[in-house]
């Protein structure tokens, strides 16, 4: 099972810098996943859409994933109606953090506003076993339907902000290459 894969995006540094400039005016970015106006971002950073089109993807939505502390082991959702993977683009303080992936574990589920179940590791569960980890230091496909968490390793370098891109086609097939 592959959990992640780095990908090459044309103009990555430009995309990163323009995206950071776009989010700077946001007063306080909430913890967790928060959607942004992707059409407005793309009007300021058309290079993102162009780079993903070259890889065969169109952008459906963009969210910021912000963590201030180590996150819990969780599964974003489990459904065939949604992509198994998203393309994450590091923006701020991602260098010293890792995304860990796990096998097994016991999870409680809660219903999200979008109607999908979110699974979070049970408080006293010790059965989850770490099987992989990645530093999202460049654009990375992450399998978010497998148990994972973000661990911040930079003392005082929070928040960690990653841009999570939802695409028309599931990038999962790239994990199999």
pLDDT for residue 70: 84
User: b or e along 74-104 (b: 16 or more beta carbons within 10 Å of the residue's beta carbon)?
Assistant: bbbbeeeeebbbbbbbbbbbbeebbbbbbee
Question: Chunked in runs of 10, what are the mean pLDDT values of the chain (177 residues)?
Answer: 95 98 87 90 98 97 89 89 94 90 95 85 95 96 95 72 96 92
pTM above 0.75, yes or no: yes
Instruction: Kindly give, in sequence order, each residue whose CB lies less than 8 Å from that of residue 21, ignoring residues fewer than 6 positions away.
Output: 44
73, 52, 80: which is closest to 174 by C-alpha? 52
Domains, the chain = 4-175 (2.60.120)
pLDDT for residue 81: 85
Integer Cα distance of 145 and 3 in angstroms: 9
pLDDT for residue 115: 80
pLDDT for residue 109: 93
Q: Is the dihedral of CA 142, 96, 17, 61 positive or negative?
A: positive
Residue 14 — φ and ψ, nearest 5°? -65, -45
In 10 A of CB 158, how many CB atoms?
15
């Amino acid at each position: 099972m592959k959990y992640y894969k780095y990908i090459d995006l044309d103009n990555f540094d430009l995309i990163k810098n323009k995206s950071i400039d776009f989010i700077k005016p946001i007063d306080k970015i909430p913890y967790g996943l928060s959607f942004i106006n992707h059409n407005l971002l793309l009007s300021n950073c058309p290079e993102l859409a162009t780079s993903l089109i070259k890889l065969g993807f169109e952008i459906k939505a963009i969210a910021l994933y912000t963590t201030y502390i180590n996150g819990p082991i969780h599964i974003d959702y489990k459904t065939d109606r949604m992509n198994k993977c998203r393309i994450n683009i590091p923006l701020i303080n991602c260098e010293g953090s890792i995304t860990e992936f796990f096998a097994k574990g016991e999870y409680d589920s809660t219903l999200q506003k979008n109607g999908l179940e979110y699974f979070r590791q049970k408080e006293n569960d010790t059965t989850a076993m770490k099987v992989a980890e990645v530093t999202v230091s460049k654009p990375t496909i992450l399998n978010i339907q497998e148990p994972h968490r973000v661990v911040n390793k930079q003392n005082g370098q929070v928040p960690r902000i990653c841009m999570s891109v939802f695409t028309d086609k599931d990038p999962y097939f790239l994990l199999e290459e």
